[in-house]
Amino acid sequence: MLSRLADNLYWHGRYLERAEDLARLINVNANLNLDLPSGLSAGWLPLVRITGSAPLFKQLHDDHGERQVVRFLLSDERNPGSLRATLEFARENLRSARDLLPRELWEQMNALYLKGQEELSGPLSRRRRHEFLHQLILDCQQIAGTLLGTMSQDHAYDFILIGRYLERADMITRILEVRGYDLLPDTSEDLGPFESIQWMSVLKSLTGYQMYRRHVRTRVSGNDVLNFLLRDEQFPRSVMFCLRALEALLLELPGDDDQALRVVTRLQRQVHECELSGRRGSALAELMDQLQVELAAIDESIRQTWFGAGT
Amino acid sequence: MDLSDYRSDEFFDELIGPGGRPRAAARAAIKYLKGLDDDELAERKAACELAAMVAGITFRVYFEDTGVDRAMPFDLIPRVIALKEWQQIEAGLKQRVLALNRFIDDLYNDQQIIQDGVFPADLLEGSVNFREHCRGISPPLGIWAHICGSDLVRDGDGTVYVLEDNLRIPSGVSYMLENRQVMKRVFPELFEDSGIQPVDDYCSQLYDTLASLSPRPVDYPGVVVLTPGMYNSAYFEHAYLAQQMGVALVEGRDLLVDDNDEVWMRTIAGLSRVDVIYRRIDDDFLDPEAFRKDSVLGVPGLMRAWRAGKVALANAPGAGVADDKVVYAYVPEIIRYYLGEAPLIDNVPTYKCREPEEMAYVLDHLDELVVKPANESGGYGMLIGPRSTRKEQKQFARLIQADPRNYIAQPTLALSTCPTFVQGGVAPRHVDLRPFILSGLHTYVTNGGLTRVALKAGSLVVNSSQGGGSKDTWIVDTGGA
């Protein structure tokens, strides 16, 4: 297949995953803030940090209340990382490759984009916002389901999924980095109720709370949450799961340059072997930073191997 | 369907003959349609529209923010032509395209036709589509216009004429193919024993034509369709043809020309050799090294690769030299000159203003003629005599006298009509026909072509961009001699 189309589909996968993750983050953060006493509330700024757009946000706003942050993340035209822009990029990247894909996939993406443009063109009340973001997550899942259920598992399919898993792994590390930073030191098994709520919110932003409960233990502890979200091999929103999926997908692709594959297996080893206990604050941030550098290296080697033929 | 009040007296009607009787080839179709009551018809019409939408028979105005496709208006009463008549037209089209290809090849090489005084040298000098870069080239099989779409019209007495030849990048064939799919789905009964000739093999014929041009003797030549991209209004067709042929739809940036003058496309498995390009980009934008420097749609070095014989381009660059209204006026002579035969299909009678007596006639009859400049398209710069003012006629008289070479004139045509669904029933609407002629190792003519219909009463404008629609076109074998 053409490199250009592979490139577009890869980015479609990334943007659509990003849109879904953004929606999850905003809804979970809103819930968390309602549960925490105002003195302990993490507020909204962490979300700006997770999306890596803090410098731009600071240029535009002095205040970082809910209204400013949510508008910035959802619909601000000056923010190229807004949900609205992300949906547009997801659609644009799909459009040129329409003839490689099931028709329903394009139609669902187009419908989602149009809905996003309409809903995000004006201010959203909190209740409408929650409803809209919840539906958006479902719509993204519907698109993922259509892909899984109707598309031949050819290279076009592989590239969409590679984008999706790489983006997802990246988002998990960002959430852990920023959230880990905000959390109180993990002193013992005897967690303060509010810290427990914060770790729960980390799980919930990845829809991992219930699975954590079923597969780990009934109590929420910092180390266990970290371990679950980094290393669990069965939960689809853990870093290790994403890396295993990437490994399998990359093996499908043509060419004998296995540079991307090598970075993936190296990263798997790192995730497997890194020491987690007691990692909080800057030590956790440092680890997540390392993982993100490796994820960027995977992106770079994918780009060089498959998107840049002959250039 | 009620045809009891249907009248198209002043015009030749494609389906209904004088006295309201269906023409022989259309008899079965008319009988069937007449047997449907209003409810059934409404149901079929709705099914048709739905099928057209579902099939995505659309053309696209992507600058509209929504990106919603616009459906091509489609009329479900077919236009019917008897096989026997069609066979004559088909032979005429083959003859015409063969002669035109010889003509183009001659112009870029020996220019024998000019030396022999049949085609005037000054006409070539004034041609905007003549490409210096193509001098001395003879493409594979000596063919320049591999895909030609000639527009046919039928006059009041039923004679079929060629109105123009589109030798650059004619479009519309995807609508012809999709219209047939829709009709088969909506009127399966009609297709059972009606002797309607199939059109479905166009894409495999197109593929074979393209593959036959490959400069490399390989089993699976690298064939691609080159599109300007999805903002182009014909993008639906580009994607459709690529898909149906099972070849890659590429943009200029997907291709590169190496130092060895070979063309490659960038794929995830590395560079892949390209042998034949069905290009849907105008000459001007094809290669910024050779033509417009500011083109971002093309491929730098493509002309170099083509001149070196490393890649085939369909249609060949410069083929448009014969797609010129003044050249058109000479096609009957061109056929006689190269083939030694009389033309099987006539041109619409055409006056060449460069001939003094013909110009005198044109100037005297400006109020009844259509005057056309040589190189405009889409109806620009024309004078439609019967609808013009004295002032416009005077202005055109000055234009013609200042540059006679650049103008031709034709009588206003009484285009034939075809019964068409309109608000409140069925009424005659003017139609034309665009068959497609493929030239490679073999020559192939579509069974029929795309019938375009002017949906407004009395209008002669059939272009889809101006509200025209289309109809399925049936070539019907009525049996017998």
Give B118-144 as a DSSP string: SS-HHHHHT-TT--GGGTT---GGG-S
Instruction: For residue B271, list chain A residues with Cβ-Cβ distance below 8 A.
Output: 309-310
Q: What is the pLDDT of residues A37-78, one digit of tens each?
A: 777 777 898 899 889 899 999 999 998 889 999 999 999 999
Cβ neighbours, 10 Å, residue B54: 11
**Mean pLDDT of all residues in B270-279:** 96
Who wins on pLDDT, B447 or B455? B447
User: Residues B299-328: what's their mean pLDDT?
Assistant: 94
CB contact (8 A) between residue A2 and residue B264: no
**Dihedral angle over CA of A180, A13, A93, A19, nearest 10:** -40
**Residue range B113-129: mean pLDDT, rounded:** 90
- Short-list B446, B449, B442, CA closest to B208: B442
pLDDT higher than 70, residue B270 = yes
Q: Report whether A242 contacts A171 (CB < 8 A).
A: no
pLDDT band, residue A139 (cuts 50/70/90) = very high
pLDDT one-digit tens code per residue, B451-478: 999 988 888 877 766 668 899 999 999 8
* pTM (whole model) above 0.80: yes
**CB contacts, 8 Å: A254 with chain B:** 268-269
Residue B63's pLDDT is 45
Q: What is the DSSP string of B395-406?
A: HHHHHHHH-GGG
pLDDT level of residue B61 (50, 70, 90 thresholds)? very low
Which residues on chain A are in Cβ contact (under 8 Å) with B264?
Answer: 310
Q: Which one of B267, B273, B274 makes the best mutation probe of the A interface by having the most chain A beta carbons within 10 Å?
A: B267
**A209-223, A239-253, B446-460: which has the minimum mean pLDDT?**
A209-223
Asked if B266 lies within 8 A of A309 by C-beta distance, the reply is yes
Dihedral angle, C-alpha B196, B200, B201, B203, nearest 10 °: 150
Residue of A nearest to B237 (CA): A99
Question: Can you give the pLDDT at residue B62?
Answer: 44
Where do the domains of chain B lie?
351-411
Residue A166 CA to residue A291 CA, distance in Å, equals: 12
CA distance readout (Å), B29 to B23, B83, B187, B192, B225: 10, 15, 10, 12, 37
Look at the block and give the residue holding tokens 């529209």.
B49
CA B250 to chain centre: 23
* B229: nearest CA partner in chain A: A96
Percent of chain B at pLDDT > 70 equals 94
Q: Is-contact B231 B244, C-beta < 8 A?
A: no
Residues of A in contact with B254 (CB under 8 A): 2-4
A–B: how many Cβ contacts below 8 A? Answer: 53
**A99 has a pLDDT exceeding 90:** no
For the segment B225-240, the average pLDDT, to the nearest whole number, is 90
Q: Is the pLDDT of residue B64 over 50?
A: no
Q: How close A119 gets to chain B, by Cα (Å)?
A: 15
The pLDDT, as a whole number, for residue B10 is 85
pLDDT at B201 exceeding the cut of 50 = yes
Whether the bond between A93 and the residue before it is cis, its omega within 30 degrees of 0, is: no
CATH 3.40.1500.10 at B351-411, yes or no: no
Q: How far apart are CA A83 and CA A113, in angstroms?
A: 10
Name residues 239-258 of chain B within 8 A of A (Cβ). 239, 242-243, 248-251, 253-254, 256
Taking contacts as CB-CB distances below 8 angstroms, the residues of chain A near B66 are 114
* Closest C-alpha to B270, from A256, A300, A155: A256
ipTM (interface pTM): 0.82
Cβ atoms < 10 Å from Cβ of B7: 12
- Asked if the Cβ–Cβ distance from B66 to A6 is below 8 Å, we say no
Q: Please state, in angstroms and as integers, the Cα–Cα distance from residue B315 to each residue in B95, B204, B320, B344, following that order.
A: 18, 17, 9, 24
The torsion defined by the Cα of B17, B20, B26 and B30, in degrees rounded to 10, comes to 170
Is pLDDT above 90 for A112? yes
Strands B369-373 and B383-384, sheet pairing: antiparallel
| Averaged pLDDT for residues B240-254 | 94
By DSSP bridging, strand B248-250 and strand B450-453 are: unpaired
Least confident of A141-145, A180-184, B188-192: A180-184
Nearest to A267 by CA among A237, A304, A231: A231
DSSP summary character for residue B57? -
Pairing, β B436-439 against β B147-154: antiparallel
Q: How far apart are CA B471 and CA B466, in angstroms?
A: 16
Q: What is the pLDDT of residue B379?
A: 60
- What mean pLDDT is predicted for residues A215-232? 87
**Separation CA B411–CA B420 (nearest Å):** 26
Q: Which of A98, A254, A309 sits opposite B271 (nearest CB)?
A: A309
Query: What's residue A30's pLDDT?
Result: 87
Q: Which amino acid, residue B282?
A: D
Residue B382 in contact with partner chain A when CB distance is under 8 A: no
Contacts of A3 in chain B (CB under 8 A): 254, 266-268
Whether pLDDT at B479 is above 80: no
Q: Is B267 on the interface with A (CB under 8 A)?
A: yes
Please, what is the average pLDDT of chain B?
A: 90
Interface touch A310/B243, C-beta < 8 Å: no
Nearest CA in chain B to A257: B269
At A305 the pLDDT is 93
Give the per-residue pLDDT at B112.
Answer: 97
Asked if residue B459 lies in contact with residue B231, where contact means CB atoms within 8 angstroms, the answer is: no
